[in-house]
Amino acid sequence: MNTMNGMNLGQGLNIRPSNPTDKPFLEQLHNSAREDLRYMEGELDYVESIIQMQFRAQTEGYGSQFPNAMYFVVEKQQQPIGKVTIDFGPNEIRIMDIAFIPPARGKGFGEEVMRCLQNAAAQVGVPLTLSVLSTNILAKRLYLRLGFAVQNITPPYEFMAWVPEARKIIV
């Protein structure tokens, strides 16, 4: 069901377009998803500056490579718990980024969002695609369970696609 605030899903989830007031949440979410960088060797200030630089690159857009990118916030009972960035290309819907705050991970919310995106892709008859780190076993397991297939591997990423069933043509 569509609402003025976005799209309601199951489990009390809502997806709505991101707006400027979401910046503090999105920055906190980005930082929580980049714990891996905090294990790098180097001064803490240097590592934090890299994390901030990555956040700015994402929030300022993915540039000319994804001109149709749209940014959404995932909420549970009106509280932000995640984000999803999608690019609507001419021949695919590409999930560019999906992330949840640590307390919301592993609760099925990502699967609910993915099923919603699969439904949208099926309605317009295009594949749903994404890239996932080869080492992200939990995410890959979810994508495979949802019917995604690995199309190619360019370390450290695997490009995966889900193709909706062909619509039956009645003559």
Report the C-alpha gap between 165 and 167 in whole angstroms: 6
Predicted TM-score (pTM) of the model is: 0.80
Identify the segments of the chain with pLDDT beneath 70. 1-5, 33-64, 166-171
Return the closest-CA partner of residue 69 out of 102, 92, 45, 37: 92
Classify strands 93-100 and 128-133 as parallel, antiparallel or unpaired. parallel
List of residues 6+ apart from 156 with CB closer than 8 A:
133, 134, 135
Helices (H), the chain: 23-33, 44-59, 109-124, 137-145
Q: What is the pLDDT of residue 3?
A: 40
Which residue type sits at 141?
R
For the chain, the structural domain boundaries read: 2-162
Please write the tens of the pLDDT for every residue from 33-52. Answer: 655 544 555 565 665 555 56
Q: E strand or H helix at 154, and its extent?
A: strand 149-154
Query: Nearest-5° angle of CA 107, CA 143, CA 83?
Result: 55
Q: What is the pLDDT of residue 108?
A: 94
List of residues 6+ apart from 162 with CB closer than 8 A:
118, 121, 127, 128, 129, 143, 146, 147, 148, 149
Q: What is the pLDDT of residue 111?
A: 95
Q: What is the pLDDT of residue 75?
A: 96
Q: Hey, what CATH topology would domain 2-162 get? A: Aminopeptidase (3.40.630)
